[in-house]
Amino acid sequence: MTAPARAPLDLRLYLITDTGLCGAHGVARTVAEAVAAGATLVQLREPHGSDAEFVALGRALAQVLAGSGVPLIVNDRVHLVAEIGADGAHVGQGDMGAVQARRLIGPARWLGLSVQTPAHLQAALALPAGTLDYLGVGPVWAQQTKPDAAPAGGPEVLADIARASPWPCVAIGGIDIGRVAQVRRCGAAGVAVVSAICGQPDVAAATRRLRAAWG
């Protein structure tokens, strides 16, 4: 597979949605406020609910993001990327294989892969050229928003993977305002957050603080 000329993603502040945490504020409103305050990428993650509900929410977010320059990435449900009109997909170690995901979304959209260990990175390095655009590394620290997440690897593992990866790495898991600078020192290209934005009393202010902490 020949690597296409996809523009690099801005991973500095990667918002992953959580319908439960957003509560009455709503996912679409949360995303709109976060993007206006500096979120650079949005991933729609909704492990519950039907495909029809997922598509409806995805289309609402695509409308919110239209004209903002901030891409919409779909977690796991790769088969719905085109129907939503999303800009790419993200798969985990237990989801659809990256090669199959790339075939489904085509050469023009972005694709990310979650990795937790150096062994996962080695497996990613064996994929055909052009399959991936970035890695999600973590959980770095213990977290509460994804019950089935792998054990926390710590900043040392993040640094090892970021150093060896040919792709930019976004760190996820237990990242709050006090850990952003440490993540950057580990060589990550950005931070992915859920509860640091979703469900916060002032979404815009929380987002601005995270962006300022990145520097």
pLDDT of residue 145: 67
Summarised one tens digit per residue, pLDDT across range 64-103 is: 999 999 999 999 999 999 999 999 999 999 999 999 999 9
- 55 carries a ligand binding annotation: no
Q: Decide if 45 is catalytic.
A: yes
Task: Tell me what the mean pLDDT of segment 121-127 comes to.
Answer: 98
Q: Decide if 50 is catalytic.
A: no
Here the tokens at position 40 are 């650079």
For the chain, give me the number of helices (H) and strands (E)?
A: 9, 8
- 160 carries a ligand binding annotation: no
Note whether 16 and 75 are within 8 A (CB). Answer: yes
Here the tokens at position 51 are 């495909």
Distance CA 92, CA 36 (A): 28
Catalytic residue, candidates 45, 77, 179, 211: 45
Summarised one tens digit per residue, pLDDT across range 129-153 is: 999 999 999 999 987 766 666 788 7
Closest CA to 30 of 213, 165, 215, 200: 200
- 174 carries a ligand binding annotation: yes
Task: Tell me what the mean pLDDT of segment 150-170 comes to.
Answer: 94
> What are the structural domain ranges in the chain?
13-214
Catalytic residue, candidates 6, 59, 103, 146: 146
pLDDT of residue 158: 97
Q: Which residue has the tokens 């640091």?
A: 196
- 165 carries a ligand binding annotation: no
Catalytic residue, candidates 114, 179, 209, 211: 114
Q: Angle at Cα 213 formed by Cα 30 and Cα 116, nearest 5°?
A: 80
Distance CA 67, CA 80 (A): 21
pLDDT of residue 150: 75
- 76 carries a ligand binding annotation: yes
Fold of 13-214: TIM Barrel (3.20.20)
